[in-house]
């Protein structure tokens, strides 16, 4: 004997019922089948709705009832042959009339007793089983309809079904004895009756349990649960789109997963089959060939430590606290008794070792009821202030990691907390089941999706890590970056198991957001028809999406954008930027950004602030972090000035060369920042600060090499005009150096607490003399590199190299 259970979606439509029939036919030759069916998908919810409305005296219940009637009648008409239709239709109509009568009674009395409610809800399965029975018979399947309501004896016990197993089994076995010759015994799921024979149910989702009870009573060879997913998955597919099917689970693991919200199995289902070691198969009615999940008792120690994640979305935490608690006898007992009497189900418990407080997690919808019950129980202690009023926190969720091997493995919880912490998820409470099959944490509901996804990536190793980018600035650097991401995407996905997606893109006017990732082949077009860009809009969308591994990239040179970093880092979103403004601002601001990043587990990376993509800051960080000390820095830090002085030979005008540098993307958007020396001063300042030396930009000595007054120009255009008019000045400057065989280099320097920058004439024996094109050179003298300095040299400007430096910072975060 095999038991097959078909859930609501499997029996929802005439098409799905054809699939059900095929599955039954395929198995029928190998022996007798017990088939359990749910109500047509969605029907139980509608019955709940009807009865609530009727109780509230809302006549609208009739509308819902009418929908239910139509649904069942048209199912008969669409599914059944003409011959089978008329007897079935009349039986269905009789049942619907009964339902109408009960609902009418509820409406008139405005009272919905437990018995009335169970009677109403039971109509779903009674109707569906009747129609399916008629259908299977009309398809020449020898099928007997069983009144499982009369066979299964159960009462509601504090919100849970309490089945009288000996009595129920006796009845099922007796019934079976008499019907051994039928090919299929068809049972409506969910329904039962109490000791007096009055209707009860097995609780929402209870058809799974019906099937398990039958499997247990008849000692079935297997229990197949046919549903609408390919099996039990590593997480609820609603939250984690890349959840995978778990091929095998132990009974205890399945129980733990279902207790913590994996709706695919109704929690009480496991117990009755576990006793006899009857395997459960979870299968997809709509994908019959899919492997499914097998739940059984054998154990192999090579299995994965963590089998799955489950979650309960709506949770409340109740905390009872007070100095007087220690002395109060049977304190916890009274708390739990109060909750249990109020029919409040406790999902998890945590108690501080001090015993001064105890926290329980419950379903949010029970919060009010629980609060009243507890305050009532402890009213005397509240009066004497031995305890404080119950603290109720709402809008929480619980996430549980489940796996039987967890107990042999150290570090699982550490990894869980670290993963959540890195993503700025604050853990409200932690509980580990005494079985050590799960660790569960309570978090804010708004963090649920993010938490499940980061944990999923962290614990299912073959999983790809998703990194979500939010980019402001799509000029030279920004568009090169997008280009590189587009080209590298597939390689990173395959080789590094990193899935980089650009979620938001903005320029000063438009903003484009796509939670699933913007199509990087078409971004210009899509951005041009994007929404209006404002910083508030960008930030609020980025924060409310609350995606894991989020990185904000600022490709602008704007102060207003740099001013957003604190807010962004405080939301645990990392910042990567070539924009030097933030790090070159006041020293306090620079330190504050670093400490906010640390506090919220975000990274603040700005490798491209100095020498574009050259690994200058990361090298410097490594020296400092390994205990070295910087003694002296000498550097040519302006790729643009180097380009300009390398190309200016007194022949073509100086202004023209500056213009070319700007066009090729070697200067800041405003070239005055380069030519005034400010850009170089900011860079040397950042190197000094990264060397753990406190300094502000005003302390850096730097004389401008430009002719007087030219920097006072109002606009970039006026500035160009001003330097055009001063060509003779630049020629003189060049000739003076050239006549002595020297070259002009804009050099920055730090030594003994002092920094400066300025134009220098360097002779051929100087290492800076041969610096080509737009290259940079940085020479570090440190305690370790005292005589032979550490030199970094290479392309120090340009959109491509800057973009690749930003990319490198993104990868540093992705790999962490
Ligand atoms: P049925 O009506 O067949 O009993 P249910 O709706 O009760 O089906 O259960 C199946 C649903 O459970 C799936 O459609 C899925 O949305 C949900 N679910 C929640 N957690 C999980 C999980 N870990 N694995 C698979 N499905 C899950
Ligand atoms: N129809 C019932 C429900 O929706 C039982 C079940 O489908 O398992 O809760
Ligand atoms: Mg179900």
User: 547-594: per-residue pLDDT in tens?
Assistant: 989 999 999 999 999 999 999 999 999 999 999 999 999 999 999 999
Could you tell me the distance, in angstroms and rounded to a whole number, from the CA of residue 206 to the centre of ligand 3?
7
**CB of 260 closer than 8 Å to CB of 440:** yes
Going by alpha carbons, the residue nearest to atom 9 of ligand 1 is 264
Could you tell me the distance, in angstroms and rounded to a whole number, from the CA of residue 204 to the centre of ligand 3?
8
Going by alpha carbons, the residue nearest to atom 26 of ligand 1 is 264
Instruction: Please identify, by atom number, the ligand 1 atom nearest to the C-alpha of residue 228.
Output: 14
Report the residue among 6, 190, 202 best suited for mutation to probe ligand 2: largest number of ligand atoms under 8 A from its CB. Answer: 190
Structural tokens at position 654 = 């100086």
Going by alpha carbons, the residue nearest to atom 11 of ligand 1 is 264
Element (H, E) at 125: helix 114-138
> Distance (Å, rounded) from C-alpha 640 to C-alpha 254?
64
Residue-wise burial string across 519-554, b where 16 or more C-beta atoms lie within 10 A, e elsewhere: ebeebeebbeebeebebeebbebbbebbbbbbbbbb
Element (H, E) at 69: helix 61-79
Instruction: Please identify, by atom number, the ligand 2 atom nearest to the C-alpha of residue 38.
Output: 7
Residue for token digits 């210009």?
Answer: 524
**CB of 428 closer than 8 Å to CB of 444:** yes
> Distance (Å, rounded) from C-alpha 305 to C-alpha 303?
6
Q: State pTM to two decimals.
A: 0.77
Residue among 711, 678, 712 at smallest CA distance from 697? 678
Going by alpha carbons, the residue nearest to atom 4 of ligand 1 is 7
Ligand 1: residues with CB < 6 A are 7-10, 38, 205, 227-229, 232-233, 235-238, 262-264, 308
Could you tell me the distance, in angstroms and rounded to a whole number, from the CA of residue 248 to the centre of ligand 2?
25
Residue-wise burial string across 174-183, b where 16 or more C-beta atoms lie within 10 A, e elsewhere: ebbeeeeebb
Instruction: Please identify, by atom number, the ligand 2 atom nearest to the C-alpha of residue 210.
Output: 8
- Please, is 703 exposed, middle or buried when counting C-beta atoms within 10 Å of its C-beta (0-12, 13-18, 19+)? exposed
Report the residue among 120, 124, 149, 264 best suited for mutation to probe ligand 2: largest number of ligand atoms under 8 A from its CB. Answer: 124
- Ligand lying closest to the C-alpha of residue 161: 2
Structural tokens at position 440 = 């569960």
pLDDT of residue 324: 73
Radius of gyration of the chain (CA): 36
Could you tell me the distance, in angstroms and rounded to a whole number, from the CA of residue 35 to the centre of ligand 3?
15
pLDDT of residue 301: 53
**CB of 681 closer than 8 Å to CB of 748:** yes
Residue for token digits 């504050």?
Answer: 592
Could you tell me the distance, in angstroms and rounded to a whole number, from the CA of residue 265 to the centre of ligand 3?
6
Going by alpha carbons, the residue nearest to atom 6 of ligand 2 is 205
> Distance (Å, rounded) from C-alpha 125 to C-alpha 200?
13
| Helix/strand/coil for 532 | strand
Instruction: Please identify, by atom number, the ligand 2 atom nearest to the C-alpha of residue 124.
Output: 1
Q: What is the DSSP string of 568-591?
A: HHHTT-EEE-S--HHHHS-HHHHH
Catalytic residue chosen out of the listed positions 5, 450, 580, 683: 683
List residues, by chain if needed, whose CB lies under 5 Å from ion ligand 3: 7, 205
pLDDT < 50 stretches in the chain: none
Could you tell me the distance, in angstroms and rounded to a whole number, from the CA of residue 262 to the centre of ligand 1?
7
| Helix/strand/coil for 425 | coil
pLDDT of residue 472: 98
Instruction: Please identify, by atom number, the ligand 1 atom nearest to the C-alpha of residue 235.
Output: 23
> Distance (Å, rounded) from C-alpha 796 to C-alpha 552?
23
pLDDT of residue 389: 86
> Distance (Å, rounded) from C-alpha 147 to C-alpha 586?
80
Residue among 499, 478, 474, 477 at smallest CA distance from 488? 499
> Distance (Å, rounded) from C-alpha 132 to C-alpha 76?
9
Torsional class of 601: left (φ above 0), alpha (ψ -120 to 50), beta (otherwise): left
Q: What residues does 778 pair with on adjacent strands?
A: 635, 792
Residue among 644, 750, 633, 630 at smallest CA distance from 699? 750
> Distance (Å, rounded) from C-alpha 24 to C-alpha 308?
30
pLDDT of residue 668: 82
- Examine the residue annotation and report whether 294 is marked as an active-site residue of this protein: no
Report the residue among 207, 213, 265 best suited for mutation to probe ligand 2: largest number of ligand atoms under 8 A from its CB. Answer: 207
Could you tell me the distance, in angstroms and rounded to a whole number, from the CA of residue 230 to the centre of ligand 1?
10
Ligand 2: residues with CB < 6 A are 7-8, 38-39, 44, 124, 189-190, 204-208
Could you tell me the distance, in angstroms and rounded to a whole number, from the CA of residue 168 to the centre of ligand 2?
20
Instruction: Please identify, by atom number, the ligand 2 atom nearest to the C-alpha of residue 204.
Output: 9
**CB of 399 closer than 8 Å to CB of 441:** yes
| Helix/strand/coil for 464 | coil
Torsional class of 776: left (φ above 0), alpha (ψ -120 to 50), beta (otherwise): beta
Number of C-beta neighbours around residue 461 at 10 A = 9
Report the residue among 42, 227, 246 best suited for mutation to probe ligand 1: largest number of ligand atoms under 8 A from its CB. Answer: 227
């Amino acid at each position: 004997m095999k038991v097959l259970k078909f859930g609501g979606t499997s029996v929802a439509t005439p098409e799905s019922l054809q699939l059900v029939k095929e599955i039954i036919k395929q198995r029928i030759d190998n022996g007798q089948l017990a088939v359990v069916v749910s109500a047509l998908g969605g029907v139980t919810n509608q019955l709940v709705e009807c009865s609530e409305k009727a109780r509230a005296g809302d006549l609208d219940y009739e509308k819902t009832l009418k929908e239910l009637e139509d649904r069942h009648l048209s199912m008969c008409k669409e599914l059944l042959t003409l011959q089978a239709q008329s007897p079935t239709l009349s039986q269905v109509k009789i049942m619907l009339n009964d339902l109408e009568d009960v609902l009418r009674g509820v409406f008139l009395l405005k009272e919905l007793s437990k018995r009335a409610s169970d009677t109403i809800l039971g109509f779903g399965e009674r109707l569906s089983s009747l129609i399916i029975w008629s259908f299977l018979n009309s398809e020449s399947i020898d099928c007997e309809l069983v009144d499982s309501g009369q066979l299964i004896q159960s009462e509601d016990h504090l919100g849970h079904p309490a089945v009288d197993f000996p009595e129920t089994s006796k009845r099922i076995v007796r019934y079976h004895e008499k019907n051994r010759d039928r090919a299929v015994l068809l049972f409506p799921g969910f329904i039962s009756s109490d000791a007096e024979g009055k209707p009860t149910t097995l609780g929402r989702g209870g058809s799974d349990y019906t099937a398990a009870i039958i499997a247990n009573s008849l000692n079935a060879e297997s229990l197949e649960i046919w549903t609408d997913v390919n099996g039990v998955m590593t997480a609820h597919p609603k939250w984690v789109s890349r959840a995978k099917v778990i091929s095998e689970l132990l009974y205890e693991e399945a129980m733990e997963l279902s207790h913590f919200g994996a709706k695919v199995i109704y929690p009480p289902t496991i117990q009755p089959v576990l006793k006899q070691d009857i395997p459960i198969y979870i299968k997809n009615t709509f994908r019959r060939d899919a492997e499914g999940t097998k739940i059984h008792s054998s154990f192999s120690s090579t299995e994965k430590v963590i089998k799955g994640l489950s979650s309960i979305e709506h949770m409340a935490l109740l905390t009872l606290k007070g100095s007087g608690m220690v002395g109060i006898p049977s304190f916890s007992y009274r708390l739990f008794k109060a909750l249990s009497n109020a029919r409040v189900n406790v999902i998890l418990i945590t108690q501080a070792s001090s015993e001064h407080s105890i926290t329980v997690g419950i379903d949010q919808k029970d919060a009010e009821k629980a609060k009243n019950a507890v305050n009532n129980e402890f009213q005397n202690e509240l009066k004497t202030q031995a305890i404080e009023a119950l603290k109720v926190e709402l809008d929480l969720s619980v996430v549980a990691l489940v796996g039987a091997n967890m107990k042999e493995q150290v570090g699982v919880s550490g990894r869980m907390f670290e993963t959540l912490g890195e993503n700025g998820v604050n853990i409200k409470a932690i509980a580990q089941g005494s079985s050590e099959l799960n660790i569960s944490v309570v978090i804010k509901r708004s963090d649920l999706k993010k938490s499940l996804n980061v944990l999923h990536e962290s614990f299912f190793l073959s999983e790809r890590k998703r990194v979500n980018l939010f980019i402001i600035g799509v000029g030279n650097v920004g568009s090169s970056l997008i280009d590189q991401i587009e080209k590298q995407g597939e390689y990173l996905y395959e080789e590094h198991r990193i899935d980089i997606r650009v979620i938001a893109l903005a320029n000063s006017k438009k903003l484009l957001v796509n939670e699933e990732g913007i199509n990087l082949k078409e971004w210009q077009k899509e951005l041009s028809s994007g929404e209006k860009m404002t910083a508030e809009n960008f930030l609020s969308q980025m924060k409310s999406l609350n995606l894991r591994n989020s990185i904000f990239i600022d490709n602008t040179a704007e102060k207003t954008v740099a001013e957003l970093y604190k807010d962004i880092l405080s939301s645990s979103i990392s910042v990567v930027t070539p924009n030097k403004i933030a790090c070159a601002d006041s020293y306090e601001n620079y330190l504050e950004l670093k400490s906010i990043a640390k506090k919220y587990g975000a990274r603040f990376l700005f490798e491209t602030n100095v020498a574009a993509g050259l690994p200058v800051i990361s090298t410097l960080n490594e020296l400092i972090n390994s205990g070295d000390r910087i003694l002296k820095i000498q550097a040519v830090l302006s790729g643009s000035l180097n380009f300009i002085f390398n190309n200016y030979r007194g022949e073509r005008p100086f202004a023209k060369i500056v213009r070319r540098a700007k066009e090729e993307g070697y200067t800041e958007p405003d070239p005055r920042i380069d030519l005034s020396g400010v850009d170089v001063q900011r860079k040397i300042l950042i190197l000094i600060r990264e060397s753990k030396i406190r300094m502000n930009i005003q302390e850096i000595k730097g004389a401008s090499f430009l002719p007087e007054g030219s920097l006072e120009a109002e606009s970039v255009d006026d500035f160009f005009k001003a330097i055009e008019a001063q060509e003779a000045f630049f020629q003189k400057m060049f000739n003076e150096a050239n006549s002595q065989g020297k070259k002009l280099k804009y050099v920055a320097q730090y030594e003994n607490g002092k920094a400066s920058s300025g134009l220098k004439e360097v002779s051929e024996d100087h290492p800076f003399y041969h610096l080509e094109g737009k290259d940079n050179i940085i020479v570090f003298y440190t305690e370790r590199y005292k005589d032979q300095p550490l030199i970094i040299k290479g392309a120090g400007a340009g959109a491509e190299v800057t973009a690749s430096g930003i990319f490198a910072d993104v990868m540093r975060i992705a790999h962490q």
